[in-house]
């Protein structure tokens, strides 16, 4: 009798354990399936945009290490109008072109100037920002009023930018003493204020953003002397995405959202972009 009761008890316990295991597995499958479906749907409708968050106010990291900036908000707004989601990927500026060419990312939004050399490798959207170059010096500097006063001077610029191209060109022509190409714009301004460089050539919107909090340390000299426009870059053959981005950009401008973003990041509202007269040579 004791053996019979023990067998019955063991059988009941086995059924209980199996039932519990089966129920747990069923619950797991029912919750995992919707998550997987949602993830696939999101990724299939998203483009991956490469950026370099060291170029405020266009792209930078906040105190929490999160990426934000004008370019990121603009791409999100364009995506809403054009019907796609946007995911951002942080890369070094010099790595962005190769990343879009090999398919690692779909587009570049990193304050990238539209230049003839880049147009040979990349497809660009319509211009979205007037970013002409200016010459900046330390606040107490005298005797530098334009590019003609830079002979024999050390001139800084951020690597990978049109400012760096201009500075290197001046050095090659011996119109300046030395080109000092640095990793990011903060290092450029630090070198300028510490006396390691006599002048800095950089995009006006970036310099204006820096000067909001540092107006007593640097100043601009002369007038902007090199026209420059930012564009969103893609692989050379990605004309379908180019059309979507251009259409979305037109709608963002027409709706007034573009001007709102300029004001949010305290950028000048470029009239040539608003009225569509900006032309890249």
pLDDT in tens, 100-151: 999 999 999 999 999 999 999 999 999 999 888 999 999 999 999 999 999 9
Residue 6 resides in a domain: no
Taking the C-alpha atoms of residue 176 and residue 79, their distance in angstroms, rounded to an integer, is 44
Which domain covers residue 73, as residue numbers? 45-130+229-274
Per-residue confidence (pLDDT) for residue 44, from 0 to 100: 66
Has residue 35 got a pLDDT over 50? no
Q: What is the pLDDT of residue 281?
A: 67
Whether 19 maps to a domain, the answer reads no
Residues 210 and 144 in one domain: yes
Q: Give yes or no: residues 140 and 252 share one domain.
A: no
What phi and psi values does residue 58 have, to the nearest 5 degrees? -75, -40
Bridge partners, 47 (sequence order): 86
Is the pLDDT at 13 greater than 50? The verdict is no
User: For 65-71, what is the mean pLDDT?
Assistant: 96
Structural domain count, the chain: 2
Asked if pLDDT for residue 50 goes beyond 50, the answer is yes
Q: Are residues 244 and 117 in the same domain?
A: yes
**112 and 236: one domain?**
yes
| pLDDT digits 0-9 by tens, 195-246 | 999 999 999 888 988 888 888 999 999 888 778 899 999 999 999 999 999 9
Residue 28, pLDDT above cutoff 50: no
Q: Are residues 152 and 209 in the same domain?
A: yes
35 found inside a domain: no
Q: Do 221 and 247 lie in a common domain?
A: no
Specify the CATH number for the domain of residue 167. Answer: 3.40.190.10
pLDDT at 30 over 50: no
| pLDDT above 60 (res 43) | no
């Amino acid at each position: 009798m004791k053996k019979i009761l023990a067998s019955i008890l063991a059988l009941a316990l086995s059924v209980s354990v199996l039932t519990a295991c089966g129920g747990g597995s069923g619950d797991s499958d029912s919750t995992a399936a919707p998550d997987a479906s949602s993830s696939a749907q999101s990724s299939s409708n998203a483009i991956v945009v490469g950026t370099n968050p060291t170029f405020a106010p266009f792209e930078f990291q906040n105190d929490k290490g999160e990426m934000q900036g004008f370019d990121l908000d603009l791409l999100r707004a364009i995506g809403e109008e054009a019907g796609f989601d946007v995911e951002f990927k942080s890369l070094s500026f010099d790595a962005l072109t190769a990343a879009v060419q090999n398919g690692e990312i779909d587009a570049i939004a990193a304050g990238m100037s539209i230049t003839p050399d880049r147009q040979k490798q990349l497809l660009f959207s319509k211009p979205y920002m007037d970013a002409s170059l200016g010459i900046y010096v330390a606040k107490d500097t005298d005797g530098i009023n334009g590019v003609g006063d830079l002979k024999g001077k050390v001139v800084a610029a951020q690597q990978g930018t049109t400012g760096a191209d201009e500075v290197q060109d001046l050095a090659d022509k011996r119109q300046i003493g030395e080109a000092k190409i640095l990793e990011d714009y903060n290092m450029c301004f630090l070198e300028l204020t510490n006396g390691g460089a006599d002048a800095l050539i950089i995009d006006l919107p970036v310099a204006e953003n820096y000067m909001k909090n540092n107006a007593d340390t640097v100043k601009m000299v002369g007038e902007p002397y090199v026209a420059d426009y930012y564009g969103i870059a893609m692989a050379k053959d990605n004309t379908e995405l180019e059309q979507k981005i251009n259409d979305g950009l037109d709608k963002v401008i027409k709706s007034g959202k573009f001007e709102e973003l300029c004001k949010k990041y305290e950028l000048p509202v470029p009239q040539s972009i608003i009225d569509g007269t900006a032309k890249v040579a």
